[in-house]
A and B are shown apart, each in its own frame.
Chain A
Amino acid sequence: MTTLDPDVGDLLRGLAPRVLGRLVGRHGQFDDCEDAVQEALLAAAMQWPRQGVPDNPSAWLLTVADRRLTDEWRRSQARRDREAAGLTGEPEHSPAEGTPGEQPPAGGAEDDTLKLLFLCCHPALSPSSQIALTLRAVGGLSTTQIAQAFLVPEATMAQRISRAKQRIKATGARFVMAPASERVQRLQAVLQVLYLIFNEGYTASSGPDLLRAELTAEAIRLTRALHELLPNDGEVTGLLALMLLTDAHRAARAGPDGALIPLVAQDRTRWNRAAIDEGIALVTGALTRSPPGPYQLQAAIAAVHGEAVRAEDTDWPQIVALYQLLARIAPNPMITLNQAVAVAMVDGPRAGLALLALLDEDQRLAGNHRLAAVRAHLLERAGDHPAARDAYREATRLTTSRPEQRYLESQAVRLAPAQPGGKTMESTRTDTLKVPGATLYYEVQGSGSVLLLICGGIYDARTYGGLAQQLADRYTVVAYDRRGNSRSPLDGPPEQLSMTVQADDAHRLLNVVAGDEPADVFGNSSGAMIGLELAARHPEQVRALVAHEPPVFEMLPNRDYWREIIKSVEDTFAKEGAGPAMQVFNAGFGGEQGQGGAPANDGGAQGPPEESGSETGVPVDKHLTEISKAMEKNMEFFIGYETPPVARYVPDIATLHESSARVVMAVGEASEGTPMYRATVALAQQLGVQPAVFPGDHGGFAVHPDAFAAKLHDVLSSA
């Protein structure tokens, strides 16, 4: 965890607790001594690599720390003297004279390390303080290193350590061996702290943060040191074995891309055999010598996994037996959770699920994603894929770990229902159609009656990719690029495109793809206007039209405002080009506020998708952004040649009234207040129909293709 020569680093960290122990033994005042040792370690880290390691490094460190301590006390004494000069009261005695009641330590350096561990893991401290103080005082790490490992600012970590030391001082805890009556309990606290340090590092080992991952090595080093001090303690041995057996999976537990790999799917040839062998030997020895404790049993379970060369060789009945024992001596819901997985391997997934049912009421697991994740796994094994998918989704929502979230999400996606016909993707046929003045590009997919999708704005058939895929099992879905856009080139130079021409293109396309059969038509934005014109001119071709948010500004009370905007767009396009014209158009939406319209909470002929990107925090839908990028070149054509006729379009309401085609006006539930929404509602009123409400906003079909498709099918199949 340090940039200096690793040999020197290891040496220093090994010496740190002994030097600190000697110093505290000599002077008392744990907090000041700890600071002094840190300074001595720092001095050594600077000097030793250049000047060589002294003959007696321990004595060197002790001398330097001692000097620092005395200097510091002298300084603060002088300060107190100065402060006290004008005041009454005696100056405090110098701590260097020794604190009354503080006994010189009995025993050697080994005892000192143990005493330090007990002090740092004092029950009066919070777990985070215990960890920080242990790493610094016993592990010899600097505050900077600890802060980096725990991903908090150095000041935060410094404060945590200094507070922990103050707290130790305040509780009067002393640097003495814990009395035998408390020894077991205090040792448990130490083991818990070492285990937490190990986990901090191990869970991070798939991430990019090496500093954090090296906490694992530090935890093993400290536990090994503790094991050398207490070789006959079964739980210390058990913890060391558990760490070694777990850490042995490190190279196999994540893929090259950092994705987590479950134990059963890991490449076992990448497990660290030496660590597994040592772990197995340690735990076997411990179990034969002492009554089993929780760490030994967890290590024993890890050892059974370690012994299986292939996942299918795992001795699951043995693991179930060990979990039963563990649940008896240390009952805890996390153990039941793991037990359920093992039980499922022996007695089947339903038996495991029955065990999980016992945990539903357990408040300790409320909101914990592990319960949902294990349930998902067992439901999948039981063959209930829809329920498994829901449980994976729930677990995905609950976890706060990004790698786990990624894994769980991938499991949910894997269980997504396949499309009818066993294919997950309908194949798409593409073709072109020659029409007067242009060539239209179109795409056909799926089977069933024809559903023509007409896009608006600067978009093309690709915009409907998600929607088309959702509907291809029920309809022959046809989408095309409007002339002048993307893959539908014009024969000649661009000119303003009338709605008559636009509707004629749709009419000719329907002739080809639907023949004499009437088709369903869906249009969005200006595409909805094309649909309206088509339904008015060729009612025999349209069974039902869903017109989603056509920007019929002529239907709005403030139509004069829009007429001015469009005039200005035309002028600007002629004089300054597409970019400035687009800005005028955009400004029209913002400027509508106070113009008799509702507050413009968004706007645009293709409005922004709402609530998108909630996972990334970017309020723009990624899919739509990608498509829009490809659409950029359509922008000039749209603003220059399509927008003016679109914005001035007045539907033939009388003809539509009499048309045999069913006309459904549709708005996005999140569009309320926008000009497109208001215009659509106004037109619906004129047509005497109630607008249907669709998911999302103006671009809802791209953001929520599944919900949008469901609603569209619903509308088309009713009446």
Chain B
Amino acid sequence: MKYMLLIYNRPGFAEELSEQERTAVFGEVDALMRELTESGELVAGQALADPSTARTIRLRVGQPAITDGPFMESKEQFGGYVTVDCDNLERAVEIAARWPDVRFGGAMEVRAVMDESGTEL
């Protein structure tokens, strides 16, 4: 089963950390990614630039209108994702729970990825 782990973090949380703490947190993510690579569970992953660099497109008066900034104004912002191919939801949740962003006011969302296959009905 493939799951996408959506990483929501508190923008700017990294700046509040000391150099040493920051290095430790980045090291944690590196170690997790290495572990997932070695276990053959990592499918893909990307980190996103700061939400202040986002452009949001919405329909306004019948036209797509572009505004600066993220889609939703909220405390946590979508910061990146990791897709894993693992045995079950429990394993995906276990991986997500170890993401350091959770400890710094963020949240991880685990979502099953839709499959193009279908069982016989």
Contacts and interface: CB of A to CB of B under 8 A. Distances in A.
B118 to A, nearest CB: 4
B60 A586 contact: yes
Interface stretch (A42-50, A275-283, A605-613): A605-613
A153 B118 CA distance: 22
A104 to B, nearest CB: 32
Interface stretch (B35-43, B47-55, B99-107): B35-43
Contact of B62 (A156, A160, A601, A628): A628
A402 B59 contact: no
Chain B: interface size category: 20 to 34
B18 interface: no
Contacts of B87: 126-128
Interface in A146-172: 150-153, 155-157, 159-161, 163
Nearest to B40: A160
Contacts of A127: 87
A457 interface: yes
Contacts of A445: none
Nearest to B71: A619
Nearest to B60: A604
Given A458-B62, A585-B61, A152 B116 contact: no
A206 B120 CA distance: 10
A91 B41 CA distance: 35
B91 to A, nearest CB: 10
Contacts of B38: 159, 163
B62 A606 contact: yes
A204 B119 contact: no
A507 B24 CA distance: 72
A639 B63 CA distance: 12
Interface in A252-288: 253, 260-263
Chain A: interface size category: 35 or more
- What is the interface of chain A mostly: helix, strand, loop, or mixed? helix
A405 B119 CA distance: 11
Nearest to A629: B62
Contacts of B116: 204, 207-209, 401-403
A604 B65 contact: yes
B61 A260 contact: no
A691 B99 CA distance: 45
A404 interface: yes
Interface string B77-100: 000000001010000000000000
6 nearest CB pairs, A to B? A160-B40, A604-B60, A403-B118, A203-B117, A608-B58, A262-B121
Interface of B: 1-2, 37-44, 57-65, 67, 71, 73, 85, 87, 112-121
27 contacts: A126-B87, A127-B87, A132-B40, A152-B43, A159-B37, A161-B40, A163-B39, A203-B117, A203-B119, A260-B118, A261-B121, A262-B121, A263-B120, A370-B119, A400-B1, A400-B113, A402-B116, A403-B118, A586-B61, A586-B63, A586-B65, A601-B73, A604-B59, A606-B61, A619-B58, A631-B62, A632-B63
Given A262-B121, A457-B61, A585-B61, 11 more contacts: A126-B87, A150-B85, A159-B39, A209-B116, A260-B120, A400-B1, A400-B113, A400-B115, A407-B118, A625-B59, A631-B62
